[in-house]
Amino acid sequence: MALPANAVEQSGLTPVKRPMRPIDLVHLAKQCLGDEALEYEILRLFDTTIATYLQRLGLASTVDELALNLHSIKGASAGVGAFGLADQAKAAEVELQAGRPLLPERLADLSMAAEEVRSFIARMLANEPA
């Protein structure tokens, strides 16, 4: 039987924190007004969008192209609830705006966050109801 929150605090037990999902599914459901079929369609589109913008980011040759692709990743990610990925893109965007170069480590972090999101989407789509 589960203990009430105040009982856990009084017992000295540390509550277990669940890992955060790469996409906030509550946010996505609100954005789609509870339409589950639309949620799956949005996830498919977002997966393609992120793959495209990451490829363009890797091919970008000017600061403007880098900024445009980072901004697009940030906005699309925030829209579906991929807040970790949006935060990574925003951090890179801020560094770029401050005149600092986009370091390979920053791009690696962004790519890793994107891969985590895309893997999560693949699992979600594999379990899509018929």
Residues 89, 93, 97, CA angle at the centre, nearest 5°? Answer: 175
The average pLDDT across 50-57 equals: 96
Tokens coding 5: 């929150």
Per residue in 61-80, pLDDT (tens digit) is 999 999 999 999 999 999 99
Query: In the chain, what are the domain boundaries?
Result: 19-126
Residue 23: the pLDDT is 97
Tokens coding 98: 């401050």
More reliable by pLDDT, 46 or 4: 46
pLDDT band at 33 (very low <50, low <70, confident <90, very high): very high
pLDDT band at 8 (very low <50, low <70, confident <90, very high): very low
Name the fold adopted by 19-126: Four Helix Bundle (Hemerythrin (Met), subunit A) (1.20.120)
Q: How far apart are CA 67 and CA 19, in angstroms?
A: 30
Q: How far apart are CA 42 and CA 36, in angstroms?
A: 10
